[in-house]
Amino acid sequence: MEQLKYNGMLSSKNPAFIDYYIEWYKTYKEPRSSNATKRFYDYCITVIQKNFGKQKITSINRQRYQQFINNFGKEKSKHTVVKVNAYIRVCVKNAVYDGIIPRDFTQQVELSWDNDKTRQIDYLTIAEMKQVIAYLKDNRSSYYTGRYMILTAFYTGMRLSEIQALSWDDIDYENKTISINKSWDAKLKEFKPTKTGSSNRTIRVNDELLSLLDDLKKNQTDLIFENPRYHNVPNSATINKVLRRQLESAGVHKDDINFHSLRHSHVAYLLEREVPLYAISKRLGHSNMTTTANQYAYLIDEFRARSDDQIEQAINDLG
Domain assignment of residue 53, given as a range:
2-116
Mean pLDDT, residues 114-132 taken together: 83
Mind listing the pLDDT tens digit for each residue in 242-297? Answer: 999 999 999 999 888 999 999 999 998 998 888 988 999 999 998 888 888 877 77
Task: Name the 3-class secondary structure at 172.
Answer: strand
* Separation CA 241–CA 139 (nearest Å): 17
317 domain residue, yes or no: no
Chain mean position to CA 104 = 27
Share of the chain above pLDDT 90, in %: 66
Mean pLDDT, residues 70-89 taken together: 93
**pLDDT the model gives residue 266:** 94
**In terms of domains, do 25 and 98 share one?**
yes
Where does residue 304 rank: exposed (0-12), middle (13-18), buried (19+ CB within 10 A)?
Answer: exposed
Weakest mean pLDDT among 100-109, 158-167, 288-297? 288-297
* Separation CA 164–CA 115 (nearest Å): 32
Mean pLDDT of the chain: 89
97 domain residue, yes or no: yes
319 domain residue, yes or no: no
Mind listing the pLDDT tens digit for each residue in 39-65? Answer: 999 999 999 999 999 999 999 999 999
pLDDT class of 21 with cuts at 50, 70, 90: very high
Share of the chain above pLDDT 70, in %: 92
**pLDDT the model gives residue 61:** 95
What one-character-per-residue DSSP string does 99-150 give? TSSSS-TTTTPPP---GGG-PPPP---HHHHHHHHHHHHHT--TT-HHHHHH
318 domain residue, yes or no: no
312 domain residue, yes or no: no
**In terms of domains, do 55 and 130 share one?**
no
32, 34, 36, 39 alpha-carbon torsion, rounded to 10°: 30
Where does residue 148 rank: exposed (0-12), middle (13-18), buried (19+ CB within 10 A)?
Answer: buried
Residues 6+ apart with CB under 8 A from 68: 51, 52
* Separation CA 92–CA 57 (nearest Å): 9
Task: Name the 3-class secondary structure at 185.
Answer: strand
**pLDDT the model gives residue 69:** 96
pLDDT at 10 exceeding the cut of 50: no
**In terms of domains, do 109 and 55 share one?**
yes
- Asked which of 116, 143, 165 is the last residue of a domain, the reply is 116
**pLDDT the model gives residue 3:** 65
Give pTM, 2 decimals: 0.71
Mean pLDDT, residues 74-80 taken together: 89
**In terms of domains, do 280 and 163 share one?**
yes
pLDDT at 299 exceeding the cut of 90: no
121 domain residue, yes or no: no
310 domain residue, yes or no: no
SS3 breakdown of the chain: % helix, strand, coil, rounded to 5? 60, 5, 35
- Asked which of 68, 86, 116 is the last residue of a domain, the reply is 116
Mind listing the pLDDT tens digit for each residue in 193-203? Answer: 888 888 999 99
Domain count, the chain: 2
- Asked which of 116, 145, 169 is the last residue of a domain, the reply is 116
**In terms of domains, do 112 and 140 share one?**
no
pLDDT at 91 exceeding the cut of 50: yes
The crossing angle, in degrees rounded to 10, of helices 145-156 and 236-249 is: 80
